[in-house]
Amino acid sequence: MFLKIMSSLDTQEKIKARAISLFNEHGTGSVSIGRIASEAGISRGHLQYHYANKQELIRAIYQDIAAEVLSNWEGDDKQPTVRHMAEMFVRQFHYVWKYRFLYREMVTLIRVDSELARRIRDNRARRIEAVIKFFRALARNRVLKKLRGEESLRYLVMITWIFCDNWLNFIEIQGNEINSQTLQEGYDHIIEMLYPYLTRQARESIYESYELIRFPQPLT
Amino acid sequence: MFLKIMSSLDTQEKIKARAISLFNEHGTGSVSIGRIASEAGISRGHLQYHYANKQELIRAIYQDIAAEVLSNWEGDDKQPTVRHMAEMFVRQFHYVWKYRFLYREMVTLIRVDSELARRIRDNRARRIEAVIKFFRALARNRVLKKLRGEESLRYLVMITWIFCDNWLNFIEIQGNEINSQTLQEGYDHIIEMLYPYLTRQARESIYESYELIRFPQPLT
């Protein structure tokens, strides 16, 4: 019984991994359930035993992404430093790259699946509040200067958020290759935006935080 | 002969208008050529006499969008004022709303059509340079303070660009209604971002520029 469950989980992991890779390469619209099954080395029927259709499969993948992302964002506000801020941004860029099909097609995907939309909205709302909490902690820890008010802080978080979610899409639309350099440039843009709000000490420690960004894991 | 050409152009306009409206409502993937023809009140064959397939139709629509956008951006750098800056941003939000299918699906669309990708890239490259020119003019006209260098200016333009292209998508993902208020909030975010770089005179004249944003044309 235990072995059977393990093997079933392994199959699901294999299906999801192949699906993510195919969706990233060709888009969710052009990849059929049959093709995913074939590339995962199983029958279509076997795949559909686990996921009845593409919508169910995409929901399952999203559930994994959400769990991965949320687990890593836990307690960010306990480390309100420039170094940790850099780690957060670079981590976010990595997620956007790893699950790029989701960030490219998000609006389309949520328009055709209201249950997926609900999950994405709930998770984003929680994460946005977590980032706002982190920025407040940065202000308390004198990384950020005193802002003009709670609304200013919220606006800065939104701009940073929209930028992080869309920087790699932007590069792709420009027709440029995405590599470690691209992530560094994305980070440079964020720093440029936050620069007027950084304290003198924070500006000085930006250079330390660079080490993190120059050597990301290779993008695959 | 002249009448026939006119009528042919009218038909094309009608097809494109129906297609834009259907694409905005349902996404390009779910709308067939047959459905567009039917809603435009012509036969599928008649539509295909003008546009052989959906790809050709999308390219033709994009050509119109590009012409409309480029014609309006001509000479922006001749009016380097806060008021004109506000007009530019609000205009851009209107385009993103009017042709929202394009902004929602851009990465997917360019991945499946390299000719469309080439056109989008060329136009964006020209427009980005035009906005950089406009920001330089703002700096010369003491609307923007002296920036830390040419790279800073370029980075600010990129962040603003990415924000404008994706603000309405972001609101849609949040599940909120898009209306005149949404455009105003988008503008508020941009002003928040630029605030540290605005001169005292520019900050004072922001309030004038608000009149423009509080009364946009109704969003349809």
Q: What is the pLDDT of residue B4?
A: 60
| Phi, psi at A98, each rounded to 5° | -60, -40
Furthest-apart CA atoms within chain B: distance in Å: 61
User: What rounded mean pLDDT belongs to chain B?
Assistant: 89
Q: How far is CA A73 from CA B18, B189, B218, in A?
A: 44, 25, 40
Q: What is the pLDDT of residue B215?
A: 47
Q: Which residues of A touch B148 (CB under 8 A)?
A: 195
Q: pLDDT tens-digit profile of B14-44?
A: 999 999 999 999 999 889 999 999 999 999 9
- Contact check, Cβ <8 Å, B197/A193: no
- Decide which of A83 and B220 is more confident: A83
B127 touches chain A (CB under 8 A): no
Sign of CA dihedral B138, A197, A180, A110: negative
pLDDT in tens, chain A (220 residues): 555 665 888 999 999 999 999 999 999 988 999 999 999 999 999 999 999 999 999 999 999 999 998 887 777 778 899 888 988 898 899 999 999 999 999 999 999 999 999 999 999 999 999 999 999 999 999 999 988 888 899 999 999 999 999 999 999 999 999 988 898 899 999 999 999 999 999 998 887 777 766 545 556 5
Predicted confidence (pLDDT) at residue B84 exceeds the cutoff of 70: yes
Q: pLDDT tens-digit profile of B172-217?
A: 999 999 988 888 899 999 999 999 999 999 998 887 777 766 545 5
User: Who among A112, A152, A173 is closest to B120 (CB)?
Assistant: A173
Q: Please tell me whether residue A13 adopts helix, strand or coil conformation.
A: helix
d(CA B186, CA B167): 7
- Contact check, Cβ <8 Å, A167/B162: yes
- Rounded to a whole number of angstroms, the distance from the CA of A101 to the nearest CA of chain B is 9
- Decide which of A50 and B82 is more confident: A50
Q: Which residues of B touch A106 (CB under 8 A)?
A: 169, 173
Q: What is the pLDDT of residue A215?
A: 47
Buried b (16+ CB within 10 A) or exposed e, A48-70: eebbeebeebbeebbeebbeeee
User: Who among B108, B112, B162 is closest to A162 (CB)?
Assistant: B162
Pairs of CB atoms within 8 A across A/B: 101
Q: Please tell me whether residue B144 adopts helix, strand or coil conformation.
A: strand
Q: Which residues of B touch A158 (CB under 8 A)?
A: 170, 189
Q: What is the pLDDT of residue B33?
A: 97
Which residue of B165, B166, B176, B191 is the best one to mutate when testing the A interface, meaning the one whose CB has the most A CBs within 10 A?
Answer: B166
Other CB atoms within a 10 A radius of the CB of residue B49 amount to 12
A149 touches chain B (CB under 8 A): no
B193 touches chain A (CB under 8 A): yes
pTM for the predicted model, two decimal places: 0.92
ipTM metric: 0.91
